[in-house]
Amino acid sequence: MQTVATTDSADTVDLGPASGLSCRECGERFALGPIFACEACFGPLEVAYDLPSGDAEELRKRIESGPENIWRYAPLLPVPADVASKPNLNPGFTKLVQADNLARELGVTGGLWVKDDSGNPTHSFKDRVVAQAIEAARAFGFTTLSCSSTGNLAGAVGAAAARAGFRSCVFIPHDLEQGKVVMAAVYGGELVGIEGNYDDVNRFCSELIGDPAGEGWGFVNVNLRPYYAEGSKTLAYEICEQLGWRLPDQIVIPIASGSQLTKIDKGLQELIKLGLVEDRPYKIFGAQAEGCSPVSVAFKAGHDVVRPQKPDTIAKSLAIGNPADGPYVLDICRRTGGAVEDVTDEEIVEAIKLLARTEGIFTETAGGTTLGVAKKLIEAGVIDPALTTVVVNTGDGLKTLDAVAPTTGMSAVIRPNLDSFREAGLV
Amino acid sequence: MQTVATTDSADTVDLGPASGLSCRECGERFALGPIFACEACFGPLEVAYDLPSGDAEELRKRIESGPENIWRYAPLLPVPADVASKPNLNPGFTKLVQADNLARELGVTGGLWVKDDSGNPTHSFKDRVVAQAIEAARAFGFTTLSCSSTGNLAGAVGAAAARAGFRSCVFIPHDLEQGKVVMAAVYGGELVGIEGNYDDVNRFCSELIGDPAGEGWGFVNVNLRPYYAEGSKTLAYEICEQLGWRLPDQIVIPIASGSQLTKIDKGLQELIKLGLVEDRPYKIFGAQAEGCSPVSVAFKAGHDVVRPQKPDTIAKSLAIGNPADGPYVLDICRRTGGAVEDVTDEEIVEAIKLLARTEGIFTETAGGTTLGVAKKLIEAGVIDPALTTVVVNTGDGLKTLDAVAPTTGMSAVIRPNLDSFREAGLV
């Protein structure tokens, strides 16, 4: 059944190649609009496209001559063709770092790369997804941007809204650490603390969407979620382009809601369909913290269903106990021959230090989780060290200093003279 | 008198177009080596070049087809031609953000840009200078990288050394804030606290250079300083290339030691000489914090000599009370028709928030100082709002959260219901 429901704005919406929304469960189609759940079966909606047909070589050249940010892929994203001329933070095209020192340490011989998204404007991959949501918000005539957040997303929304000329009003649990509050509040939008936990914040936002007080508001991770989520596809595009338009053999991705992993897979599939990369097998691996490992537990048990957990881990940006895209993640990792694994908080901290010490990249706990899982799977022989491997680093260590602070400090304290230095035994 | 002194390593040193060192005071020439002061007059040494001769158009194309980092300018830097193939952090080619919102707020009509160096690998311009020092260290056979630092430089050296395969041993005052210690120590090199202030740290490093314990050590900001400092030229190159190979009319630059400002001027002069940009007047403006304003005070008093101050400002990365390049800064700002100005700590914080609120860029206190001075000079009619202006943002707000924390927080704390939200009066 492929009936099309229309929204008021459907006639005037220009989101480039986006042709509508489709339900991932029942396939029902809907016109482009600020909706996120299927009216028929309540399944999640995702963006459907009329992707460019025609010569792959021409498309590749068009991309390569585009701007050095995600908008080079505008023909594959739910954004108008002139998106690059509008004010936004222009995230993306972050470095794909060839990690030879790390490869040596892990015994990887087939090539190891770190996709380093700490280079984005607010230093996490969130800038990619928020940038898509902004364009959807423009298309639907929203004037206020909002989200529920545990910190990082609040900053990404605040920054992007400021630059793009939107009002922003963002909701966080009231008891966040001061550092995260400052990072989120400095952009000058409204930052509202909710007396409750992240679930309470989420519930409140859902209520606000249906209320006159929330009219004209685009919640990037609620009613704009289908568009927002597409931003993660750009990680797949960039990795392949930066490898010389080639699929990696193996790619390790963190799992919070699971959206990023599913969209990276979607992006890889699109590149194959468009003829931009050669169609050959790749394996996707998902990374969780042991203290929030519902998908990993389900994968290992052979389940299709993800049983929710109460998170308890230092990897707070991955601490979603009931990940919406969990079942899709299981499906992708199984289909591609990959796996889902988890690591302890101690292994996360070790991995953060390993990456810093070998490649000079300081990642946050999510990146430590991803690298920790990569290391564990290499040691277990699940990731093949003779094949090309890409590890996705989604954020910046400056945002989670507390994770490494207890075990990171000075080698010695000395008096300002050579004798004291020699006594310290460092040379 | 242009005699040439040689060092042992002179015959084998390949630092590309760098032909030697010359004294900025007496013009005496020296062979390339790890020296920083003139043997004749104790003046500071700087790198002299045999810059590419020939067709400007050809050079421009060669640059444009180079990598998306500072190594596209390798023909103009003291680095070997194959520098891009060596492991390093590849900083540079950061965004030049067209700041239309900020321009509107400041009444600038001629075009306003922010050169945003928070996009560098360790989120400050220091990555540019350290990258040069690393290549000099390789050329001179050093195996350990070192520096004296108040925090930021220590991290930049630690990260770059890790990636490039050097040992690092870095010196800081022992009482730095824990956050800065973590940022510097996480890369795994030796981090040594010195019981004393930054001057004590500096004195100790000078002692160490002359001692067997410091043999094989390259101190990026001491015995490698002439090479290190050249990294700031890349800011000039990038600004002009990103403006479409055009000089800005006005450029505002922070002053710590003054090295960055003098090297940006040097870079602009080189582009003119090479025919890469049209030769027309530009004005350079220097920015200091009122609590450390020795150059600004000298400028306003019409002095050629800079009287040292004891710093007391939140702009700690600019807090050099006796700036080595102060007299050169005065000369450049006067020669180009620019100025040096300072702002209070309150104005610095206001400027940080202004940039965040208008362009979504969160800068550290140095960037707040620079924008604060730009605003002050625009309001005073010293900077012409009808001409193109570039403001240099050298660092990232995540590193100086304390500066804005006391005045940046939540708009409201509410209970998780609509009534409570309405009572807060935000809509």
Alpha-carbon distance A181 to nearest alpha carbon in chain B (angstroms): 6
pLDDT-derived band of residue A6, with 50, 70 and 90 as boundaries?
very low
DSSP A216-282: TEEETTTTTHHHHHHTTHHHHHHHHHHTTS---SEEEEE-SSSHHHHHHHHHHHHHHHTTSS-----
The reply to whether domains A96-121+230-407 and A141-223 share a CATH topology is: yes
Alpha-carbon distance A88 to nearest alpha carbon in chain B (angstroms): 9
Residue range B312-338: average pLDDT? Answer: 96
Reported as a single tens digit per residue, the pLDDT across A224-263 is 999 999 999 999 999 999 999 999 999 999 999 999 999 9
pLDDT for residue A2: 33
Chain A partners of B353 at a C-beta cutoff of 8 Å?
186, 188
Could you say which DSSP state residue B211 is in?
A: S
Fold of B141-223: Rossmann fold (3.40.50)
Instruction: Kindly tell me if the per-residue pLDDT of A64 is higher than 80.
Output: yes
Residue range B7-19: average pLDDT? Answer: 77
Candidate from B169, B356, B417 with C-beta closest to A162: B356
Residue range A121-131: average pLDDT? Answer: 97
pLDDT for residue A5: 39
Could you tell me which of B147, B13, B8, B154 has the C-alpha nearest to residue B78? B13
Instruction: Kindly tell me if the per-residue pLDDT of B4 is higher than 60.
Output: no
CATH number, domain A96-121+230-407, options 3.40.50.10300, 3.40.50.1100, 3.40.1190.20, 3.40.50.300 = 3.40.50.1100
Alpha-carbon distance A389 to nearest alpha carbon in chain B (angstroms): 19
User: Distance of CA A219 to CAs B56, B107, B124, Å?
Assistant: 51, 33, 32
Task: Please measure the distance between the N-terminal and C-terminal CA atoms of chain A and give it in whole angstroms.
Answer: 74
Residue found under tokens 């010490």: A357
pLDDT for residue A12: 78
Candidate from B182, B190, B422 with C-beta closest to A213: B422
Residue range A200-229: average pLDDT? Answer: 94
Give the integer Cα–Cα distance in Å for B382 and B280. 19
pLDDT for residue A152: 85
pLDDT-derived band of residue A427, with 50, 70 and 90 as boundaries?
confident
**Residues B422/B389, Cβ–Cβ less than 8 Å:** no
ipTM entry? 0.95
Reported as a single tens digit per residue, the pLDDT across A152-199 is 899 999 999 999 999 999 999 999 888 889 999 999 999 999 999 888
* More confident of the two residues B369 and B1: B369
Candidate from B178, B183, B358 with C-beta closest to A162: B358
Candidate from A165, A191, A409 with C-beta closest to B185: A409
Residue range A274-283: average pLDDT? Answer: 98
pLDDT for residue B11: 59
pLDDT for residue A150: 83
Residue range B375-388: average pLDDT? Answer: 98
**Residues B322/B357, Cβ–Cβ less than 8 Å:** no
Give the integer Cα–Cα distance in Å for A348 and A374. 11
Residue of A nearest to B399 (CA): A398
Instruction: Kindly tell me if the per-residue pLDDT of B333 is higher than 60.
Output: yes
Which range, of B49-58, B243-252, B263-272, averages the lowest pLDDT? B49-58
Reported as a single tens digit per residue, the pLDDT across A139-148 is 999 999 999 9
Residue range A202-208: average pLDDT? Answer: 93
Mean pLDDT estimate for chain B:
95
Chain B partners of A95 at a C-beta cutoff of 8 Å?
90, 121
Instruction: Kindly tell me if the per-residue pLDDT of A298 is higher than 70.
Output: yes
pLDDT for residue A9: 46
* More confident of the two residues A197 and B241: B241
Identify the bridge partners of residue A29 per DSSP, sorted by sequence position: A4, A22
pLDDT-derived band of residue B151, with 50, 70 and 90 as boundaries?
confident
User: Distance of CA B403 to CAs A349, B289, B294, B342, Å?
Assistant: 28, 13, 22, 17
Residue range B328-336: average pLDDT? Answer: 98
Mean pLDDT estimate for chain A:
95
Chain A partners of B397 at a C-beta cutoff of 8 Å?
183, 186
Half-sphere exposure of B144 (CA within 13 A, CB side): 18
Give the integer Cα–Cα distance in Å for A54 and B15. 48
Instruction: Kindly tell me if the per-residue pLDDT of A11 is higher than 80.
Output: no
Residue range B407-415: average pLDDT? Answer: 95
Tell if the CB–CB gap between A123 and B398 is shorter than 8 Å.
yes
CATH class (in words) of the domain with range B96-123+230-407:
alpha beta
Give the integer Cα–Cα distance in Å for B172 and B2. 39
Could you tell me which of A32, A31, A22 has the C-alpha nearest to residue A137? A32
Alpha-carbon distance A301 to nearest alpha carbon in chain B (angstroms): 37
> Where do the domains of chain A lie?
4-49, 96-121+230-407, 141-223
**Residues B208/B214, Cβ–Cβ less than 8 Å:** yes
pLDDT for residue B150: 83
